[in-house]
Amino acid sequence: MLKRSSVVAAASVLLSALLFSTIANADQRRDPPKPPIDKLSAALNVNPDQMENCLEEGRPASPGEKPNKSALLSCLQQANSNITGNQLDDVMQQYMPKPDRPAE
């Protein structure tokens, strides 16, 4: 028969391992980097509030999905009708933070 102290020790080790695992995983679930609104809006010649609103409109419906570029472009073109899809792609490529790269 197992001694009570052995059971308590085993439970303590298991609990410590679970706690460590939870803390380690929390570090991996950081919020995504914030886009540099000032740089994006300046590059596209829209004001920062418009840029922020349009980014919200283009936000993916759920995590892991791609942003809705069509909604983003349409919104931005209401603020600046000269913005093209290629221009938007270039600006986003230049300034949007990547998961493995911090914002500029």
| Residues 37 and 52: beta-carbon distance below 8 Å | yes
Residue 55: CB partners within 8 Å, gap ≥ 6?
A: 35, 37, 40, 72
pTM value surpassing 0.75: no
Q: Which residue's structure tokens are 């914002």?
A: 103
Q: Read off the pLDDT of each residue in 67-77 and give the average, rounded to a whole number.
A: 95
Residue 53: is it exposed, middle or buried by C-beta count within 10 angstroms (0-12/13-18/19+)?
middle
Token pair of 46, please?
Answer: 């829209």
Residue 11 is predicted with a pLDDT of 45
Which pair of tokens denotes residue 54? 């349009």
Tally Cβ neighbours within 10 Å of residue 56. 11
The pLDDT value recorded for residue 5 is: 59
List, as one string, the DSSP characters of 7-18: HHHHHHHHHHHH
Q: Tell me what pLDDT residue 41 has.
A: 96
pLDDT tens string 30-66: 666 788 999 999 999 999 999 999 999 999 888 888 8
CA-CA distance, 91 to 42, in Å (whole number)? Answer: 10
Above 60 in pLDDT, residue 104? no
Q: Is the pLDDT reported for residue 89 higher than 90? A: yes
